Structure 1
Amino acid sequence: MTSPQLENHLPFLRKTGGAWELIVDNKPYLILGAELHNSSMSSARHMESVWGKLRAMNINTVLGNVTWEDIERDEGVFDFTELDRVLVAARSSGLRMILLWFGSFKNGSSSYVPGWVKTNTRRFPRAQIRDEHGSLTLSDSISIFHSECVMADIKAFTELQRHLANFDRQRTVLMVQVQNEVGLLGDSRDRSLQAKKQFNSAVPNDLVRFLSSQFNNLQEDAKEKLGRFQDTLSLCHPSDQRSWEDWFGSSVYTDELFMAYHYATYVESIAAAGKRAYDIPLFTNAWLPKPAVGGGLGNLIAAGGALPGSYPSGGPISNVIDIWHWLAPSLDFVAPDIYDADYTATCDTYKRGGRPLFIPEQRRDAHGARRLWEAIGSHLALGACPFGVDSLEPESFAYTAQYKLLGSLETLILRSRQDSKRTFGFYFDEFEGQQADKGPPIGVSFKEFDLLISRAFVFGRPSPGCGMIIEIHVGRYLIIGDGFKVEFKSRSATSTFTGILRAEEKSVQNTVTGALRTERVLNGDETRSGKWVNMPSENPDYGDGFIPLLTPAGTRIVEAQVYSIDE
């Protein structure tokens, strides 16, 4: 049976084998995305100078915000003129878009609500937080314990979705993010009267039942921080009427769970209404804790800290993400914004349970660009997008070359996912002076061979590197990237020798079909006579060496066939 999205050519998510695909124009689509600065899309005229740069950066998808204050300056009067101009310009530039709805919340505050919401605190009460002296103060965040703001946000977001359904017939918009990094900054929970009343009331029975039945399946840090719950449960029944502190103890993590329950419920109400109006993929994103930083709740800008309130308390981070998945089913996935957090562990957390992985924000420098390959190659991400790219030039943008290479190989990468072929992405960071190499060799096992990936062979100082490997067939690999080398070893217990049968430098002849063309046959110095496949950087360091054994990166694509001798 054909899905309604397929019949209507709407973008949608589909799982094929073990990989999620974003289907656009009825075929899989790899997001080579980037997010704009917050104020860029408020003006179509400003964006006129940006579109060309984005195309030159080899971006195919632009993440940009549409704000409540811009589309509903007067209550009940909606104006999409500026947004429409932006969408038309994106379309004529050959770019797709992911819209970010800055509604009730953006980065833990309510700075993008319309003026008629900001100034009417009786109708739209604010959250109250403790200041550094312990005194209650008004925050710049709407309290989620009142219904007026969520109802107004539902109305505005539904109007946006309806407008997209009618105006965006070419399906320029692929997905919509619902709010941005929700949660409460400055305190672990809302201290307003209505919030305190809820906190001191009985925990909703559905949450107690969920935790009692699913506790062993929660994230490990959730089980650690909610350990008191199991002790309490052993002494009473899930239907018992107990307050939040009675069930979970007195801690900032109890506060965070309380806020997460209500934020997830709030966002779900908005997402569900929006999805009824226009059924394209919806998600929300998470501002992650920064464990290396203390928990002070001072004047925070973007980095945050380790304790709830130093990052937005109640947002969908790892120890409450299971609550979010349960309470917000209208969201197709939850997406992490990765700046300082452990990249691998974060990707593992957000794709846990076989969920789609998408990274709407990450570093825009070379550090971030290298990690793109892990996201795409190892975690099968829909995309991993740097933030704030429109203030850079294409030649200084670290992703320009990476996106060019990935874009040329999009068909092959997506086909490998459809065929459930093993792929592996990796990176090696730079290291300076006398620092120890932070990129030790990486071992990975494929069907019949173990591969050892290490920095590219040079006489001098090794460069950073990144790339991915696709297992085309048993013993046959497509090796993509630069700054590394790959060695092979048979997994057979009786093997006495493993070597490279043939290595060919390839280029993409047809991006639509994925057809490759052989540019060179590699042997001798380029493979250490069959010992490894060396993927050099653009400027390999000769150090004190003078024999010209090193060649710079070419197409950055090599197909290698490996063999072993068994005795």
Structure 2
Amino acid sequence: MENTFFQDAAGKPFMPIGLQVHNSSTGSSMIKKAVQAVKAYGGNCLEAPVYWCCVEPEQDRYDMELVKGIVDEARSAGLHLILLWFGTSKNGHPNYVPEYIKLQPQTYRLALGPDKAPVPSLSVHCRATLERDKKAFVKFMEFLKAYDGEERTVLAVQIENEMGYANTDRDYSRMADRDYEKSVPEALKDVELPDSGKESIPADSAVSPWKKQFGRHSHEAFSAWHHALYINEIAEAGKGIYRIPMITNVMVGEQSYEEPGLCYNAGAAVGRVLDIWKAGAPALDLLGPDIYNQNRREYVRICETYAREDNPLFIPESPVRGEANAMNALLAAADYGAVGICAFGAESALDEEGKLMEDCRDMALTMRILSSMTPLLIRYRNTGRVHAFAEEEFETSHYLKLPEYHVVAKYLRHEKMYFGYTTDTGSEEGRKKAQVRGRALLVQTGPCEFYLGGAGVALDFYRRPAPGDEDCFSHLSSRQSGQLNFLSVEEGHFDGETWVTELMRNGDETNFSQYVLDGQLLRIRLNPDTGMDVEDK
């Protein structure tokens, strides 16, 4: 199965690995620093916002210089681009709407909280706001098609940013109240939300139809449906001009005690209401969670929620620094078939001299590993052939059982490397490299062929005994079935989809574990014949 979600100009599958700039960087000199950071992370993609207020500085006057400038920057750097439409919503707030929108709240209405006071979010029940956002977005898409339709520097467009209501669970305005009293749409008749408690509501209770169907989650379900309708109409209009993947990002719901308007924006496409968003916004190609959760349990739960047949996992934002995200990103790629992974805050990754900040080195290392293996991740995603090793707290090794092999990963900051390796592990720099928290991806590309990319990890492969093997102990304990069971070990890289060998490892470099110290990529070919069944004459 190939990753065909993102494609380059030639229609080939593409896996974006990159960084997102800070909110106000587009159009400024900071973009060059962001591009430099993407290069330092080994990335291939830049995410950058386009501001409604700059595209339409005055009502019905449109200016695309900002868009042209960022496309030109990405092209000249040899990067692809995902553009983020900062329109009605930036984290739920109307920061980037034109001034004429902000100055006419009686026309372009803010949502109201339960106390009828306005909250800092525009109401998705306001038709006037939708029409203006949609019109500006169409103008943007018209320019993008004309300027980039052939070169396809831009891989996709994100519509809005972490959309949802801030500081309320729904809009309590009169127009929203009228919608809340209407019947639940037919498209949602079979949607069930977990832990809704709706069964405890008496059938003859005089409550809203939304309350009867969705119980304690009725306000969130209602908000999610109308946010989905709003963004879907913009996506449909945009695709009518230029058919390019359209996505939106999500402020995830796995926050604290997980209540809308308090822990995250209400109406956002959080896991609880993902089915509602899928029903209400079919024009969106995917919904991508912004995962800043460091806790592995939470991270994995989010990945499991969004990695669906109708929604491949794409992570538009994650931390640009820290060990936790560096470990978790590998799990997203291997275990959940992520079609792309990006981190937020490109410019913050470099110091004043343009060097990587110390606390960013871990994430940069992981992204270089991911980037070096994208041809394999594209080809083998969701096949069960991609395996991650990500050192957990107190873990010194990790065991992986494959049909034909036992694979034992040893994390090198806990396991001393043997003398004789090409890499000088005895030097101060070598010891420093070996102290990195171990992480690697192992991709099985044939019965006895593997690619290993990573850092701080050494693998041992042991051929598992055949079911009918009467000499299984001898076979398992033989060096010919263990450390010497290879045909070749090559260190190299991919040029496009072609493997290029830089170094043939042998002798001292292969007599022991097969190691990756600081981002190397190996092609390992194991011997399908152990030689143990040769008759002794």
TM-score bracket relative to the smaller structure: 0.7 to 0.9
- Whole-Å separation in 2 of the counterparts to 1:444 and 1:331: 37
After TM superposition, list the pairs within 5 Å mapping 1:17-32 onto structure 2.
17=1, 19-24=3-8, 25-32=10-17
The match for 1:101 is 85
Is structure 2 residue 347 aligned with structure 1 residue 384?
A: no
Q: Contact 2:321–2:349 (CA<8 Å) still a contact in 1? A: no
Letter of the 2:390 counterpart? Y
Matches of 1:521 and 1:507, distance apart in 2: 7
C-alpha change, 1:443 and 1:183, in structure 2 (3 Å) is farther
Among 114, 134, 139, the residue aligned to 1:159:
139
**CA shift at 1:556, angstroms?**
4.4
Partner of 2:312: 356
- Which of 356, 378, 394 aligns to 1:395? It is 356
- Whether 2:46 is the aligned partner of 1:62: answer yes
User: Is the 2:398–2:410 Cα contact (8 Å) retained in structure 1?
Assistant: yes
SS in 1 for 2:229: helix
Q: Which secondary structure state, in structure 1, belongs to the residue aligned with residue 317 of structure 2?
A: strand
Relative to the length of structure 1, the TM-score reads 0.78
> Within 5 Å, which residues of 2 pair with 1:198-209?
198-208=179-189
Q: How many residues align?
A: 490
Q: For 2:121 and 2:260, locate their aligned partners in 1 and report how far apart those are by CA, in whole Å.
A: 18
In 2, Cα distance between equivalents of 1:179 and 1:360: 13
Residue in structure 1 matching 2:388, options 425, 428, 432: 425
1:202 is displaced (CA, Å) by 2.9
**Aligned counterpart in structure 1 of residue 209 of structure 2, from 234, 240, 243:** 243
Structure 1 residues 336 and 562 mapped into 2: Cα distance closer, same or farther (>3 Å)?
Answer: farther
Runs (5+) with no aligned partner, structure 2: 418-433
Q: In 2, Cα distance between the equivalents of 1:113 and 1:191?
A: 22
Distance 1:469 1:187 in 2: 45
Change (3 A) 1:288 1:412: closer
Pair 1:485-2:458 in alignment: yes
Q: Distance in 1 between matches of 2:283 and 2:502?
A: 47
Task: Give me the CA root mean square deviation.
Answer: 3.0
Corresponding position of 2:303: 347
* Residue 336 of structure 2 corresponds to residue 370 of structure 1: no
The answer for the alignment partner of 2:73 in structure 1 is 89
Counterpart secondary structure, 1:375: helix
CA distance in 2, matches of 1:317, 1:128: 21
Is 1:559 the counterpart of 2:524? The answer is yes
Aligned match for 1:465, one of 438, 444, 450? 438
Partner of 1:269: 233
- CA deviation digits over 1:399-455, x for unaligned, max 9? 44444444444334434459x5711223125x5xxxxx1x47544443433434452
Counterpart-to-counterpart distance in 2, 1:50 and 1:20: 27
Aligned to 1:331: 284
Kindly indicate whether residue 274 of structure 2 is the aligned counterpart of residue 321 of structure 1.
Answer: yes
Pick aligned residue for 1:123 from 101, 107, 126:
107
* Distance in 2 of aligned mates of 1:58 and 1:27: 20
CA displacement 1:58-108 (0-9 Å, x = unmatched): 221100100111111211111111221221122111111100111111112
Q: Does structure 2 conserve the Cα–Cα contact (< 8 Å) formed by 1:187 and 1:308?
A: yes
CA distance in 2, matches of 1:444, 1:166: 50
Aligned to 1:451: 407
Does the CA contact (< 8 Å) of 1:504 and 1:521 recur in 2?
Answer: yes
Looking at structure 2, the residues matched to 476 and 160 of structure 1 have their Cα atoms a distance apart, in angstroms, of 47
Q: 1:225 — aligned with what?
A: 195
Q: Equivalents in 2 of 1:242, 1:423: separation in Å?
A: 48
- Offset, 1:536: 5.5
Q: Please state how far the C-alpha of 1:247 moved relative to its aligned partner.
A: 3.1
What is the rounded CA distance, in whole Å, between the counterparts of 1:206 and 1:408 in structure 2?
A: 43
1:38 is matched with: 23
Please, which of 482, 495, 498 is the counterpart of residue 511 of structure 1? 495
The residue type paired with residue 155 of structure 1 is: K
Who is 1:278 aligned against? 242
- For residues 50 and 246 of structure 1, the distance between their equivalents in structure 2, rounded to whole angstroms, comes to 49
Cα distance in 2, alignment partners of residues 319 and 491 from structure 1: 46
How far does residue 47 in structure 1 lie from its aligned partner after superposition? 2.6
For the residue of structure 2 that corresponds to 1:120, the secondary structure is: coil
* Cα separation, 2, equivalents of 1:337 and 1:310: 14
**Aligned equivalents of 2:289, 2:515: Cα separation in 1:** 31
Following TM superposition, by how much is the alpha carbon of 1:465 offset from its aligned partner in structure 2, in angstroms? 1.3
Decide which moves more: 311-320 or 165-174: 165-174
Structure 2: distance between partners of 1:188 and 1:173: 35
Moved over 6 A (4+): 564-567
Question: Are 1:268 and 1:327, in contact at CA under 8 Å, matched by a contact in 2?
Answer: yes
Maintained 8 Å contact 1:44/1:83: no
Distance 1:266 1:515 in 2: 46
Measured after TM superposition, the shift of residue 243 of structure 1 is 2.4
SS state at 1:191 partner: coil
What SS does the aligned partner of 1:225 have? coil
Q: Distance in 1 between matches of 2:244 and 2:92?
A: 25
Equivalent-residue separation in structure 2 for 1:491 and 1:19 (angstroms): 35
Secondary structure of the structure 1 residue equivalent to 2:442: strand
Alpha-carbon distance in 2 for matches of 1:18, 1:536: 26
Q: Does the CA-based 8 Å contact 2:493-2:501 persist in structure 1?
A: yes
Which amino acid counterpart does residue 356 of structure 1 have in structure 2? P
Q: Which runs of 5+ in 1 are unaligned?
A: 1-16, 216-221, 295-304, 432-436, 539-552
What residue is the counterpart of 1:411 in the other structure?
375
Query: Alignment partner for residue 287 of structure 1, among 251, 267, 270?
Result: 251
Quote the Cα distance in structure 2 between the aligned partners of 1:73 and 1:480: 48
Query: Any idea what the Cα deviations from partners look like across 1:260-281, whole Å, max 9, x if unmatched?
Result: 1111111111111111111000
Structure 2: distance between partners of 1:514 and 1:522: 22
Q: Deviations over 1:195-228 (max 9, x none)?
A: 22222333234322x32xxx4xxxxxx3x23352
Shift of 1:121: 1.0
Task: State the shift of 1:310 in Å.
Answer: 2.3
Equivalent residue letter for 2:220: E
Would you say the 8 A contact 2:318–2:343 is kept in 1? yes
Secondary structure of 1:28's aligned partner: coil
Instruction: Verify the 8 A CA contact 2:225 2:280 in the aligned structure 1.
Output: yes
**Once the 2 structures are TM-superposed, how far is the Cα of residue 308 of structure 1 from its aligned partner?**
4.2
Please give the secondary structure, in 1, of the residue aligned with 2:7: strand
Identical-residue share of aligned pairs (%): 25
Provide closer, same or farther for how the CA distance between residues 443 and 172 of structure 1 changes in structure 2, counting only shifts above 3 A: same
Q: What's the CA shift string for 1:98-144, capped at 9, x where partnerless? A: 001111111122221111111111111111124xxxx4421111111
Aligned partners of 1:422 and 1:446 also within 8 Å: no
The alpha-carbon distance between structure 1 residues 463 and 407, as it changes in their structure 2 partners (threshold 3 A), is closer
- Range moving further from structure 2, 135-144 or 403-412: 403-412
Tell me which residue corresponds to 1:259.
Answer: 223
Change (3 A) 1:97 1:356: same
Amino acid at match of 1:189: R
- The answer to which of 197-206 and 120-129 deviates more is 197-206
**1:200–1:98 CA distance, 2 compared to 1 (3 A):** same
Distance 1:154 1:440, change over 3 A: farther
The one-letter amino acid of 1:101's match is: W
Distance 1:22 1:245 in 2: 39
Q: Which amino acid aligns with 1:561?
A: L
